[in-house]
Amino acid sequence: LHFWAPFNLIQQVLPHMRRGGGGRIVNIASIGGKVAVPHMAPYSMSKFALVGLSDAFRAELAREGIQVTTVTPGMMRTGSQVHAKFKGNHGAEYSWFSLSTALPFAAVDAERAAAKIVEACRNGQASLIIGFPARVAIIGNAVFPSLTGQVMKLVNRLLPGPVGVEGDEIKSGKEAQREKKLPGWLMRLGRTEMVQNNEV
């Protein structure tokens, strides 16, 4: 979905852009498309593919007046963790993900991110990284890939370990949160975004 949906949509709109003499395509990728994130291999794979597609189309379509902007946000505070899918130790995986998306210094507010994307389009930016942690991770991976790889190994050790066959089952965030009660302050942080973005 993360790759094929944008790819198929681009194929549909390209003829119209060519007839109109140009336009701008904006692909919303992720930090997971620049830095491989532990426990999110399928997600990272699809986002890396989308970043590659954007980079290739940016070069190929420029002579036709069609510009491409690639957006790579870090963690977003949207409240969508209740709809995310989890495998493994469901409750623990959900807790880690909820924590990373709820903390103000770790995640970016959706409205702020949207404003930055609009500004990037108006300014004709080829690429936009949203969030300071994402910028540090992406630049760090580009300049010090071996060090970043070692850091990710340490991160993986902090994340929940493998479980038995019951971990093969996929559960939604709503189901997973029943397995591990989160602290009240964290629930309140996440709840605000859930209501604001109609994720309840």
Which residues are marked as active site?
Answer: 43
| Cα 3 to Cα 11: distance, rounded to the nearest angstrom | 12
Asked whether the beta carbons of 80 and 87 are under 8 A apart, the reply is no
